[in-house]
Structure 1
Amino acid sequence: MRNKIFIVGLVTVIIAIGVMVTNGTKHSVPLDEIIGGGPPKDGVPPIDNPKFVAIAQADSFLSGSDPGIALDINGGQRFYPFQILVWHEIVNDTVNGKRVLVTYCPLCLSGIVFDPLVNGQRVEFGTSGKLWNSNLVMYDRKTDSLWSQILGEAITGEMTGARLAVLPSDMMGYENFKKTYPAGLVLSKETGAARFYGQDPYGDYYTSPGTYFPVGKKDDRLGEKDFVLGIIVNNKAKAYWPEAVKKAGKIEDRFEGKTIIARYEKDIDAVRLFEKKADGTVERINPFGAFWFSWVAAHPDTELLK
């Protein structure tokens, strides 16, 4: 379909399907939906030169089910505790030679790891101080474009419409990380910032009703703070409810012509998604994990397996 241009009497110009320009600003979501979250740009300071400690040292400040993001990339095994990420939200890291962008939005319980490759170049990201549908909005330090975490996509600026690839990671408790990756490394509290690590400024937000900021669409198929794993296939969205998968152990599903396997991994107490190929082999899918309200606000027409 050809791009369409409407300019007569309008300040908003549609330059491509899903892309608009308003008063010279390129964007893919309504600009009035992007709101301030309180802190200024980089007021929630990203970690640019992360330090790591061995598990023996991390035992002094982590225990049991303390949650975080675990990843295993090129043999590099890392754990990023939420008690640190809640104060920083972004870690620009390199794991065994591969650049990674570790992101966490406490408002959505969304811990997502991206490949920070933009137009063939590795770039770093910061916190914009803004939110879209109560979700983290980042900016890239090359073009200053704004990026939605839950979309993995630039929503305003030069890079509007560009997407980041999601990398494999798991949300798990510290004890499970220790058992699975005994030689793994843990993000250190030595971040260069003075923060009360171990104290969560969001308190009981994760289990109490309601959100702090407005969202565009609500959907009662699940509780707003039920956690889901969302995927995009052929520009169609579907969410998988881990609680249903845990109960079944394994679920095989068809979505957009693909066979999707949702499997509960008991050893890490987490659900992983896979695509089953025609030859019987399976390939891991890297989903967007988040509270239901966040996923459905970004993808109002999403399907749901529960």
Structure 2
Amino acid sequence: MRDQIAGKEIMVTYCSVCRTGRVFDPIVDGHPETFRLVGMDHFNAMFEDSRTGSWWQQANGEAIAGPSKGSQLPELDSYQLTLGKFFELFPQGKVMDADPSFLSKYDSLGKYEFGKSKSKLTGTDSLSWKEKSWVVGIRVREKSKAYDWNDLKSIGTIHDVVAGQPVALILSEDQQSFKAFLRIDVTQSIERLPGDFLSVGKDTLDFRGASIHTGEQVLYPIYAYQEFWHSWRTFNPQTEIYVP
């Protein structure tokens, strides 16, 4: 899906078979580009650009065939939030209207969103570390690590170290929204308070990691993705696995 934010072109993508959401800057070799869906590779959506005819993987924005092979689409920051949490954090935000012609299909995705779909391709395994289990993947300094969604739901806040960098993964009270942040050091502890406020030392932050008193960004978010385990493992073959 193409859109503009503050005059900047963006391309919002999603693959339901991998459960991968990515937002890219649709620029190829310095030129704005349009894309069309042409199939799947490793069960991941594949796009073809209109100018060079190169094929691009949705999970990582890499061209794997055609003149642009080896090139990478720049990824833009994005976070998984419920609509309620989005408007709580961004009260002036906007949501693209649903296409009335596809309302019945939107409605049918409810089971998928809550992990209750039984489809062979898009169904969820409620157990941990199965092909269709949910994980949250984090990348830091070209290193990657996977966190079991069941563990995150049980623990709520996970403090860890990835590529030598202290991080924190925090699940919202709504059990769907989540954020990952860099920590200053391994001694810095983050506690989720009622209302999804975050306690860091003597400061209280909102779920974006900004101080509610000064508005200053105290915690800096990092890329974190909820997807099926088979997808994260395929596109991050050297990934580590978090063990509580």
Contact persistence 2:11–2:24 (CA under 8 A): yes
Instruction: Indicate the residue corresponding to 1:247 in structure 2.
Output: 154
Instruction: Indicate the residue corresponding to 1:145 in structure 2.
Output: 54
Matched, 1:97 2:7: yes
Gap change, CA 1:294 and 1:142, over 3 Å in 2:
same
Q: CA deviation at 1:98?
A: 1.6
Q: Distance in 2 between matches of 1:182 and 1:228?
A: 29
Find the partner of 2:223 among 269, 274, 286: 286
Q: Distance in 2 between matches of 1:141 and 1:250?
A: 43
Gap change, CA 1:257 and 1:179, over 3 Å in 2:
closer
Supply the RMSD in Å over aligned alpha carbons: 3.2
Contact persistence 2:81–2:178 (CA under 8 A): no
Partner SS state of residue 80, structure 2: strand
Instruction: Indicate the residue corresponding to 1:270 in structure 2.
Output: 177
Looking at secondary structure, tell me which structure has more strand per residue. 1
Structure 2, unpaired ranges of 5+ = 189-217
Q: Distance in 2 between matches of 1:203 and 1:140?
A: 32
Contact persistence 2:153–2:175 (CA under 8 A): no
* Paired amino acid for 1:287: A
* Paired amino acid for 1:97: G
Matched, 1:171 2:171: no
TM-score by length of 2: 0.69
Gap change, CA 1:198 and 1:210, over 3 Å in 2:
closer
Matched, 1:122 2:32: yes
Contact persistence 2:168–2:181 (CA under 8 A): yes
Q: CA deviation at 1:138?
A: 1.3
CA displacement 1:63-108 (0-9 Å, x = unmatched): xxxxxxxxxxxxxxxxxxxxxxxxxxxx111111122110011112
Gap change, CA 1:120 and 1:259, over 3 Å in 2:
farther
Instruction: Indicate the residue corresponding to 1:111 in structure 2.
Output: 21
Instruction: Indicate the residue corresponding to 2:234 in structure 1.
Output: 297
Q: CA deviation at 1:283?
A: 2.4
Q: CA deviation at 1:222?
A: 0.8
Q: Distance in 2 between matches of 1:247 and 1:240?
A: 12
Find the partner of 1:260 among 167, 171, 178: 167
Q: CA deviation at 1:244?
A: 2.4
* Paired amino acid for 2:31: Q
How many residue pairs end up in the alignment? Answer: 207
Contact persistence 1:277–1:283 (CA under 8 A): no
Instruction: Indicate the residue corresponding to 2:211 in structure 1.
Output: none
